[in-house]
Structure 1
Amino acid sequence: MTDINAYAATEAGGSLAPFSYDPGLIGADEVEIKITACGVCHSDVSMINNDWRGSRYPLVPGHEVVGEIAAVGSGVTHLKVGQMVGVGWTSHSCQHCSPCLSGRQQRCQTGTSTIAGRGGFADRIRVQHIWAVPLPDGIDVKSAGPLFCGGITVFAPFLDFDLKPTDRIGIIGIGGLGHLAVQFANAWGCEVTAFTSSMDKEDELKALGAHRIVNSRDDAAIKAERGYFDYILTTVNVSLNWPLYMRALRPEGKLITVGIIPEPMGIPANALVGGARMVAGSDTGPPDMVAKMLEFCVRHDIKPMIETFPMSECNAAIERLESGKARYRIVLEN
């Protein structure tokens, strides 16, 4: 096999530079994918900067990959060369631990995240076959990449926490994750309230599917929502007035976070005990759930709003992401 050509950071916080590596012989349970496009996620930046203290360099970012299968291992029978697939946060899992055997492979304790191996800012990538999820007919390939991380991150709670079409859901933070969550919730049949600090997005949010808009910086406006929501899904990675949001839940309501908030959330016990309310977290999803999400997106014409850059301009793309001005996801194209 020829070398894989990629872009890598060689130190924490460093710019990305061309980097090539020999992937070795393809494993029996692996596929090699010729990358068409790869989304850029805030998690890529966190790994480049070693914010989570687990990065290893040279580090090739990228975990929202779409592309064409270029080779398959000897044990792969359900995928074929030329098939279009996508890959998200996870690239390998053990297939014998309790989470793997129960269909929650994304929670494998010895699994490998795509970004911690060799990611998608490259011309090719190797992954375990179960994590190469076929793209359904009718999906927009250019914008599909962000669905494999941002999309599944906000779709998984709908299944994991049994959201119903009759539920009222509030979504905090209308960015790369939140703008997809609004579309999912509307198509699911829920009444959707968008909590945003950018009230200039009101018309855009209604076009995406929000029925109501609330200013997330206005404590009085949030207080007025007391006892209203069955679920609140928060996508932000900053601290907010969490007790105030807890009071906006109905009895037995749930506050679900998919954002990595660095500080303790500081929710008093009486906010949980009174009304049996719950705080929960959600990660991504197993391959089967990703496939269901993709079918749901095609059925309801859900897609991320994207800006595109050539793969060679990955540093400019990261600068654009860090500026906070991207609407709403960035995709690198080969």
Structure 2
Amino acid sequence: MNNVKAYSAASAKSPLAPTTIARRDPAEHDVQIEILFCGICHSDLHYARNEWSDVMPTIYPCVPGHEIIGRVTKVGYAVTKFKPGDLAAVGCLVDSDGTCPQCEAGLEQFCPNMVLTFGSQDKQLGGGTLGGYSDTIVVDEHFVLRVPSNLDLAAAAPLLCAGITTYSPLRHWGVTKGKKVGIVGLGGLGHMGVKFAHAFGAHTVVFTTSPSKKEDALRLGADEVVISRNADEMAKHVGSFDFILDAVSADHDINAYINLLRIDGNLTLVGAPDKPLSIPAFGLIFGRRSLSGSPIGGIAETQEMLDFCGEHNITADVEVIPIQKVNEAYERLLKSDVKYRFTIDMASLRSE
């Protein structure tokens, strides 16, 4: 067992603060990683402040972080995929049972016994699993991912959650050249959806309530930008979309977007509004449209996404911060005051 530096929250009302946590020694199939960068996901904030208490009560002290990029420092004797010095990444999952139908299908994100990078029960050390706001992490090699060497590592970190969360549904619903795709919301998730939809060759339309975001949406790869509060602009697109990715977490009129789908079109939710959405049945029935949701992807698909990003030089737009500013970043995140993700330079932790 090793003691390493980290930042943790002691309670729902406590700020994140320096601490020391225990990491297990690498077992035969384990990879030990020195963490170089860790993205900040809104899930980190929700978990640290126990805002998901109904479905995922926080285990304190908690160390958030599941967008991890680092360098391998040690491997177990049975590890074959990695060696010391390799770049490596860890996303939202660090284990699963490996035997259920979902795992056998490469869909570990649906495993009933999956172990999350933070917030699950730690089978070896007890307590909760502890995430990437730390000096190192030890993970079974099956859940460690290869990082294309051409990518900017700080900007690649959010690919481990924001990237796969948007890539997976776009792939699942067959977004390719010739398709018309809508992205609702231009934030941490939405900006990645625009980049992927554009790279897949789709005609990409961004929906936003903010006219000021039009220029940025076009820069990111959008072909068109629709101001969703403008009824005339919305009306021009009725019945024309093959697929719409809804990345908005605030309450909004989802039926307005369902009506934009063509026959057999799909709208997938990746944003999670606090309040239930009102969905009139006729919007779905007339047009045989479908509404679905999507979390992250499995390990194989996450690796596919990273390789795709390497081929197309896709990363997140990030603001890099030292870990000492993580609490300030959380407050700014609540105000959407970032374009479009924060990434922590973990060298700042080692300098304390």
Where does structure 2 lack aligned partners over 5 or more consecutive residues?
120-128, 347-352
Cα offsets for 1:167-209 (capped at 9, x unmatched): 1011001011111111111111100100012211211211111
Where does structure 1 lack aligned partners over 5 or more consecutive residues?
none
Cα offsets for 1:253-273 (capped at 9, x unmatched): 101011112222221222222
1:318 to partner: Cα distance: 1.8
Report the residue type matching 1:262 in the other structure: D
Q: 2: distance between equivalents of 1:223 and 1:262? A: 28
Which residue matches 1:92?
95
Q: 1: distance between equivalents of 2:281 and 2:331? A: 41
Map 1:231-310 to 2 at 5 A.
231-310=243-322
TM-score by length of 2: 0.91
| Greater CA drift, 187-196 or 77-86 | 77-86
Question: Does the 8 Å CA contact 1:71/1:81 hold for their aligned counterparts?
Answer: yes
SS across alignment from 1:22: strand
Instruction: Give the % identical residues.
Output: 35
Which residue matches 1:207?
219
Q: 2: distance between equivalents of 1:322 and 1:225? A: 32
- The reply to whether residue 10 of structure 1 matches residue 14 of structure 2 is no
Report the residue type matching 2:306 in the other structure: L
| Greater CA drift, 15-24 or 276-285 | 15-24
Report the residue type matching 1:102 in the other structure: A
Map 1:1-334 to 2 at 5 A.
1-53=1-53, 54-116=57-119, 117-334=129-346
> What is the aligned-residue RMSD (CA, Å)?
1.4
1:220 to partner: Cα distance: 4.2
1:156 to partner: Cα distance: 0.4
Paired residues in the alignment total 334
Cα offsets for 1:40-62 (capped at 9, x unmatched): 01110010111111211000011
Report the residue type matching 1:148 in the other structure: L
SS across alignment from 1:142: helix
TM-score by length of 1: 0.96
Q: 1: distance between equivalents of 2:303 and 2:215? A: 31
| Greater CA drift, 56-65 or 13-22 | 13-22
Report the residue type matching 2:115 in the other structure: T
SS across alignment from 2:118: helix
Q: 1: distance between equivalents of 2:297 and 2:291? A: 19
1:137 to partner: Cα distance: 2.7
Q: 2: distance between equivalents of 1:295 and 1:243? A: 35
SS across alignment from 1:25: coil
Question: Does the 8 Å CA contact 2:181/2:205 hold for their aligned counterparts?
Answer: yes
Q: 1: distance between equivalents of 2:105 and 2:249? A: 30
Question: Does the 8 Å CA contact 1:223/1:244 hold for their aligned counterparts?
Answer: no
